[in-house]
Structure 1
């Protein structure tokens, strides 16, 4: 967005600053003059006076400077090392050239070199009458630095005026131009009274330090590509400077405030203080790209304030997609102007934010439909956006120009989150969608688990595979996973569809209150689909007797706005990973439940196979412990805690409604609700050992489950070759179980000082699993 600053009154600021500096130096000069007037004849220290000898020629020592500039020039030419071969310039002529140089202007003596961005002296070696060549060179070099800085800053600022650069850089360049103009005007008035190069040097002392700071700011922001990075660079540099240069504090603080205005305008638009129509009319587009700025490593606001702004912007964006003309998004001229006006202090902004909050609360109370439904009328649009005409001089560094706007941002955040939470729970039924995830992705629905197990693993169902000459009957069809070792795997998509297409509809219809013509409407398009697997995992899916045989199967769910603010794509991935692991447990649990039947059908009565019976008992014990741990401690316990938080939030919203308030009692917003959801899933994944740091333990569990499946397959065939396979897998199962116990013991024995509170809770859960899995220390 192009940005053109208003009148900044830099002239007044510069005049005040320069007058203070000049007066302090003038006072010192007057004191010296008063001291000299007390005794017109200077007394010099000589050896004669030291020895208290009164000699007539020591009473008054003649000085060469008293003879005038001409005598000084003649005396200089008498000394070979100081002789000036180029010539002596008239003082008035040279002084005017030096004054022009101090203002960054060329003359016959000093010319601007555009290649090196610096003034150069054309008459090198010349001197001014009454001043030695060495003294003039030193003074000229000092004034060249000042004039070159002014000319370079003006060149850079003018060159970038119409360039495609961040708005904050345009604001900085505009401030630089204004300050340079103020310096030029103030100094021009004072240069007319300059009569010597020493006076000129004294006059330049004040702006010289300010110009060096401006040059450093322009250099520091040269590579910045966003408003946030520009403000970060400017604020960091300014707050370093004001620690030692207190007289520059007011000017630099005003500059930071003005450079921050474009970002504040964008922030005001993003959080709803400017309507969409007004923003578009001003050339500002509201899109997802505007969310990326605060994701950078910025330093001009602290971490909690950055989180507040990010959360508010995201909440407003969600509300805007649902209801573009909501009361909270129509814009408020007073709030907008207060947000971008750096002259207002925190007290004034706090009063404005209270007034705004009360006004919006009254509007929402008078129009209850605005809380849970769209408000499509476009009344109350702000008419204009005014920038402040002046920036006051202030030396208070306790509050930055950006920190002071916190009350307004907090007010908007509370109001928007209050509206969004009510819509999520009441209009979009968030609690039901979360319950669907638990029922299906986390296997919390017993009817779904039973039907899915039957369809996938039962050997008593009809195969859904299409065969030539075989007619499908109306009986229950299934994939019959592991029924025979010759079967084709994985199944075709048509076979998979025939098997699973009715399970979700039938089980969801019993728990849903919303009915459609074809039964219950599945939320989010809930359905079974094929998971995209990496090349390294495809081969192990092809083995029907592997624990990974069902890794291709997933539950497809698409979250619609605004539910996607809580049920995000990341959380869906976590649900999917958990479902994948639970499906493996479910399959092995079904297999171990049929092991006794396998033994009775393949081994003769009266001649029990002790080794097989022992394996069946151990496998049943391990799988039952793992399954109960996964469901009770791994899923149900964290989910209940999450559910209690949601219930408490709903109750607080109800209390606010009774009091006729919005955002006054609720301390949790949409962002906080999303974090609670993610924390719940992270806790579940940690207790199911699905995190990356738990890879060894997870692999040991998968190896044990895989060994159970391989050994069970071997028990179904009564021959010596398969008997050897059974023994190998039984041994592998025992070793894997011992590895599980060992790794659990390492977790339990971890020192408490090195873990967090969440890890300590997970440690206690691991301790319970260890005691149940190895209760008689059988595996140790």
Structure 2
């Protein structure tokens, strides 16, 4: 089967690497398998023939090999050589016979050569397997069967059990011993003598080979290495800067306490000195006893990124910020609770979390005023007084910080162990406290003395049950209440007021033997007490760590919710300047033009519905300077040369510049606001009073002019004939400082967008009224198309459908879009007059928060209200397409009025105006048809908008019409009978 090799391997000579590859010695097989014969096989007959052959063979001489070492142990030393020389076979047979008669520790007929010696123990294993024999026997057998190969990079050290345990007692505590030394670069223990020669050390215990010895030593080396690495980590934590906060230093203290406890526990677990004299030490019992501490240290090292398999260069950097640091500890604790790790592991991690997070939780509680008021972090460093109180002298020097900048300084990130409800309530409560200190610094929640309350983790069953029932918590586990040593009694006693001076009557050195003056580290006792009181499992009330955390922070959640609702109640129910509902009424009356007096005065100031083009010379003109500029006939001639901006007041065009900026416009618009304010009301005691918000609205409200962009397609506001002619004008509102969070600049910009849209709508309405005045029956027959009958009919028809469109749109905007959304929102904020306090300083609560959780939710809902109004008016950026259709329709109506006005003035002839009106009519019909189709498509996509019935809330309150849901009302107003979808009827 194998070819014959003429040259066999010769390993007695050194290899010659210079010889060619084909001349290397060949490897010959050490066995040969003959091929089977090509005939039928009969294995039974072959076995019988082989058995008969063996039976007929002559007996062989049996001379067993007997090791001399075993002969020394088993036979008498003086007779060993004689018996072996005389009759070795007889001596060996007698030895086996004696071992068989003794039956030392055997229950079967199998005898190993180790049992031949008379000193074999009667307690030996009854099994015949070599691996289950005594350590010495098994180690000897392994050494005989698998001898160690020599390796110059290996260093072997043979130790006895007594020396090893004496050394491990030091190594397991994290210190160098006579066998192992700490290597600072790799942060691990290495065998002594190998640190300089880069050798791999092997320590062999007496009676054990290197495999068992390494397995036995690995646990103790791992414990010592991890404990020492935690010591190095503790040293680095103590050297950190104080700027990193108290959380890092609290972690250092907790880690120091844990290390002290572990060293005390490991010192008690190590073998005692009196055990070293025994021959049979309980190595397995000692090794097993350290298993729980190995698991604990492996857990702590993994939590801090200091695993034994990780080199110092790859250590995980420990966070300085308390949020990720506490989250790291909590996540490891939660992991071990889910794994149901030993109670000792969970207790120590819980102690570290409790000690490390104590100061941080206290700071979080103070940030919402729980247990005291927070320190002044928002004011300037040089300020020594309240940042919201200032004198007249420094009013110009120290400006108030922007309220949004103050709110941005609040903390928004928290550890992962904070429940979701607390994570939602804390930022709102922190910001509410800032607003509270601005709105009402004398509120009882701010001026009340700090209560001795604090938040602590609940671990024992008694604490959890007490917190669940709302009763007083028992003393925390691990708290050692120590009283100062009582001084020795003196014959002359002091009165209680000066009893402390008794110390000066003692002789020198009297109290030097006091235990309180001795430096002794008993910090591990605190942890030991904490572990003793730590439950083996969480109680059924809080079966998980998340439930326990929710119960722990329940008091903080209640205080944060109370603080937020108190501020919300102050803004909703207070009768003074902070009443949010009163400010909303002012915004609705002016910026949304819901006040009839303001709307009428604004119409008189900015718009005109006169049927003739002439300058108004009444007492309502803009200025005396304007009156002096009008010399009668000359002024009329100049006026005829100017285009007629239909709908606009002629007073705005007298300077022949657009926009009409100047002091005259500002003064005239100023009187519009002041004259439209509500009149003061007479009280029961005869005093004339007006609501404070209305009283201050005269200077909080104001018109302003803004610069709009110019360029191709963006300069329509510079043309008085355009519908965007008044876009330069807007209204501004200055809310009180605390209410800036509810009436923010972003919300005011939405009001101003609606104000600009309403100005456009009023402009078109005024232009249509002017059209009706100039297109009476007599005027149409005399001046407007006196000879073109079809054009006259088209004019009247176009006037009718334009008036129907604008009036329907105006009614929809004011009644449905604004009133249908704003009025229900005001109803939610309404208060009962019988429960509203009359004092200026509001300190109570009416529990009427309108269903809002805090002022920030109210601000979001206020912003959403404006979004709904803008959506209902097709003014959102996402509605640009359909919004342009609506704007173009209004533009066509305005262009139609301008063409008729020019015809009425005689600036164009009827044959010139007829095709213009016809073209505008076609465009208007096309726009309206497209607009109704798009509106119908939007309505069909919103099933809820197909209900005309106004749904109500519980209690009879009206439901808002919404944003896109209101478009059904607009479609109904514009095309109730589907007139625009039937082009045949439009002609």
Q: Does 1:252 align with 2:349?
A: yes
* 1:622 equivalent among 802, 805, 812: 805
Q: Does 1:151 align with 2:151?
A: no
* 1:586 equivalent among 762, 779, 785: 762
Find the aligned partners of 1:732 and 1:707 in 2 and give their Cα distance. Answer: 8
Q: CA RMSD in A?
A: 4.9
* 1:133 equivalent among 210, 214, 217: 210
Q: Deviation of residue 271 (structure 1)?
A: 2.2
Q: Deviation of residue 528 (structure 1)?
A: 1.0
3-state SS of paired residue (2:979): coil
Q: Deviation of residue 527 (structure 1)?
A: 0.6
Instruction: From the CA coordinates, give the structure whose radius of gyration is larger.
Output: 2
Find the aligned partners of 2:465 and 2:844 in 1 and give their Cα distance. Answer: 24
Q: Does 1:165 align with 2:229?
A: no
Contact 1:514 1:520 in 2 (8 A): no
Find the aligned partners of 2:301 and 2:763 in 1 and give their Cα distance. Answer: 71
Q: Does 1:522 align with 2:705?
A: no
Q: Does 1:308 align with 2:477?
A: no
Structure 2 unaligned residues grouped into runs of 5+: 1-102, 113-119, 195-199, 276-280, 306-314, 388-402, 474-525, 609-613, 632-646, 682-687, 903-907, 952-958, 982-987
Please name the residue that 1:505 is paired with.
Answer: 674
Please name the residue that 1:425 is paired with.
Answer: 574
Equivalences for 1:355-370 in 2 at 5 Å?
none
* 1:104 equivalent among 155, 159, 174: 174
Q: Does 1:81 align with 2:148?
A: yes
**TM-score scaled by structure 1?**
0.74
User: 685-694 or 194-203, which moves further after superposition?
Assistant: 194-203
Find the aligned partners of 1:613 and 1:146 in 2 and give their Cα distance. Answer: 101
User: 575-584 or 163-172, which moves further after superposition?
Assistant: 163-172
Find the aligned partners of 2:704 and 2:351 in 1 and give their Cα distance. Answer: 60
Contact 2:821 2:960 in 1 (8 A): no
Contact 1:251 1:393 in 2 (8 A): no
Find the aligned partners of 1:639 and 1:198 in 2 and give their Cα distance. Answer: 81
Equivalences for 1:217-228 in 2 at 5 Å?
217-219=303-305, 222=317, 226-228=321-323
Contact 2:410 2:430 in 1 (8 A): no
Contact 1:41 1:60 in 2 (8 A): no
Question: Which string of whole-angstrom CA distances, capped at 9 and with x for unpartnered residues, describes residues 40-81 of structure 1?
Answer: 9665888899xxxxxx99988697998876994797378433
Find the aligned partners of 1:444 and 1:249 in 2 and give their Cα distance. Answer: 65
* 1:768 equivalent among 966, 969, 973: 969
Find the aligned partners of 1:622 and 1:546 in 2 and give their Cα distance. Answer: 19
3-state SS of paired residue (1:643): helix
User: 432-441 or 463-472, which moves further after superposition?
Assistant: 463-472
Q: Deviation of residue 554 (structure 1)?
A: 1.7
Q: Deviation of residue 437 (structure 1)?
A: 0.7
Contact 1:100 1:106 in 2 (8 A): yes
Find the aligned partners of 1:733 and 1:335 in 2 and give their Cα distance. Answer: 74
Distance 1:497 1:174, change over 3 A: same
Contact 2:361 2:455 in 1 (8 A): no
Q: Deviation of residue 747 (structure 1)?
A: 2.1
Q: Deviation of residue 93 (structure 1)?
A: 4.5
User: 701-710 or 286-295, which moves further after superposition?
Assistant: 286-295
Q: Does 1:603 align with 2:784?
A: yes
* 2:267 equivalent among 188, 194, 197: 188
Contact 2:899 2:913 in 1 (8 A): yes
Question: Which string of whole-angstrom CA distances, capped at 9 and with x for unpartnered residues, describes residues 522-542 of structure 1?
Answer: 366211113465678953432
Contact 1:228 1:294 in 2 (8 A): no
Please name the residue that 1:456 is paired with.
Answer: 606
Please name the residue that 1:32 is paired with.
Answer: none
Question: Which string of whole-angstrom CA distances, capped at 9 and with x for unpartnered residues, describes residues 564-583 of structure 1?
Answer: 34333443233223222222
Question: Which string of whole-angstrom CA distances, capped at 9 and with x for unpartnered residues, describes residues 539-571 of structure 1?
Answer: 343233333332222211122133334333443
3-state SS of paired residue (1:262): helix
3-state SS of paired residue (1:627): helix
Find the aligned partners of 2:155 and 2:936 in 1 and give their Cα distance. Answer: 93
3-state SS of paired residue (1:443): coil
* 1:269 equivalent among 366, 377, 391: 366
Equivalences for 1:554-593 in 2 at 5 Å?
554-593=730-769
User: 763-772 or 344-353, which moves further after superposition?
Assistant: 344-353
Structure 1 unaligned residues grouped into runs of 5+: 1-39, 50-55, 355-387
Contact 1:635 1:684 in 2 (8 A): yes
Query: How many residue pairs are counted as aligned between the two chains?
Result: 690
Please name the residue that 1:690 is paired with.
Answer: 875
Please name the residue that 2:534 is paired with.
Answer: 393
Distance 1:516 1:181, change over 3 A: closer
Question: Which string of whole-angstrom CA distances, capped at 9 and with x for unpartnered residues, describes residues 575-600 of structure 1?
Answer: 22322222222222222222234554
* 2:554 equivalent among 406, 417, 425: 406
User: 391-400 or 702-711, which moves further after superposition?
Assistant: 391-400
Find the aligned partners of 1:576 and 1:83 in 2 and give their Cα distance. Answer: 92
Please name the residue that 1:209 is paired with.
Answer: 295
3-state SS of paired residue (1:345): helix
Find the aligned partners of 2:299 and 2:925 in 1 and give their Cα distance. Answer: 73
Q: Does 1:647 align with 2:766?
A: no
3-state SS of paired residue (2:736): coil
